Amino acid sequence: MKILFIIILSTLISFSGIYILRERIFKVNEKAPDNKMIANENNFYKLSANDIDGNKIDFSQFKGKKLLIVNVASKCGYTSQYKDLQELHKKYNDKVTILAFPSNNFGFQEPGSNDQIEEFCETNYGIEFQLFEKSDVRGKNINSVYRWLSSINDNGWNDKSPRWNFFKYLVDETGSLKAVYSSNVNPMDNEIIDFVIN
């Protein structure tokens, strides 16, 4: 009986640890504080990044547009969100622009080249929204877009870099970061749709 109790207790402790870890990794859903002046927001439009074909995209072209920025990977448990991102694009492309950044930062779940990533997205999900070159979205080689998204000094309030693939950032028409959502928030969830249509 004592051994059974120890086994049950150990199992409960293990699951508690997994739950706490899951909460720390996946439960980051924050919105910009209403009463805080957002500093340097217009610096967003000075950013640029290369698209999946290597062409430079100046972010000044996104002035006046709402943006959903997401780091993506083709071998992740959340990869099926590509379908939902495409659905969001098709349904609301006049209201929001999706910018997807392939990254191999989490579990080596994006091992492919830019050509392989592009083919995967087109073949499996019919992706029509903007894909960028594979790059780092955290760490010492973080790309300039994700540096802005995860630096309080740049965006005015957020210091959260992605904790996993399909982490989402919402930027409004003025270049202000408005919200950060964890991987488990689906692109078609109410929080994101509310941002898009309001």
Q: What is the mean pLDDT of residues 117-144?
A: 98
Rounded Cα distance between 19 and 7, Å, is: 18
* Structure-token pair, residue 127: 């992706």
* Structure-token pair, residue 136: 């780092």
Q: What is the mean pLDDT of residues 134-159?
A: 96
Which pLDDT does position 31 carry in this prediction? 72
Q: What is the mean pLDDT of residues 140-159?
A: 96
Q: How far is CA 69 from the centre of its chain?
A: 5
Confidence of residue 19 (pLDDT cuts 50, 70, 90): very low
**Is residue 16 scored above 70 in pLDDT?**
no
CATH number for region 30-197: 3.40.30.10
Catalytic residue from among 38, 47, 72, 76: 76
Residue 131, classified by CB atoms within 10 Å of its CB into exposed (0-12), middle (13-18) or buried (19+), is buried
**Is residue 107 scored above 50 in pLDDT?**
yes
Given a contact cutoff of 8 angstroms between Cβ atoms, the answer to whether 78 and 71 are in contact is no
Classify residue 189 by its DSSP letter.
S
Say which amino acid occupies 164: W
**Weakest-pLDDT range from 7-21, 132-146, 169-183:** 7-21
121 in active site: no
Distance in angstroms between the alpha carbons of the first and the last residue of the chain: 59
Which pLDDT does position 126 carry in this prediction? 98
Q: What is the mean pLDDT of residues 60-79?
A: 98
Q: What distances in angstroms separate CA 68 from CA 74, 135, 185, one per listed residue? A: 18, 17, 12
- State the average pLDDT for the chain: 88
What residues does each domain of the chain span? Answer: 30-197
- Give the CA diameter of the chain: 68
% the chain with pLDDT above 90: 78
At 27-51, the pLDDT tens digits run: 567 676 654 545 445 589 999 999 9
162: Cβ contacts below 8 Å, ≥ 6 apart: 71, 103, 105, 106, 137, 138, 146, 150
